[in-house]
Structure 1
Amino acid sequence: MNLAQRISAYLFLILLAIALFFLESEPKPRPAEQSVVANRYPASTALPAR
């Protein structure tokens, strides 16, 4: 019984860690950050001029 409880506890912790990881990676970047990146690196200067 002790081994089964230990295995179930480890499974619960692993599932909790996976759920937290997906919740943390879910939010998209804010529009302000996207505009800053777009203004700093415009698409016209992304490729070297020829």
Structure 2
Amino acid sequence: MLESLSGKGILQSLNSMDLNELGRLVKQNLTDIDDRAGVLTQASRY
């Protein structure tokens, strides 16, 4: 999975556990981005 994330591997070769973990990682990153965007939006209002 690490190779796939670094661009050296192929996502099709990941098993279901790896794909689930990747899904959780993507979801967490999107949550972090959304949280940061909210902080920046609030800061620009003042």
Structure 2 length-normalised TM: 0.59
Distance 2:38 2:25 in 1: 20
Unaligned ranges ≥5, structure 2 = 1-14
Higher RCO structure (Cα 8 Å, ≥6 apart): 2
Across the two proteins, how many residue pairs are aligned to each other? 31
Runs of 4+ with deviation above 6 angstroms: none
Larger radius of gyration: 1
- Relative distance call for 1:24 and 1:15 in structure 2 (3 A) is same
- Share of identical aligned residues, percent? 10
Q: Which runs of 5+ in 1 are unaligned?
A: 32-50
1:20 matched residue in structure 2: 34
The CA RMSD measured in Å over matched residues stands at: 1.5
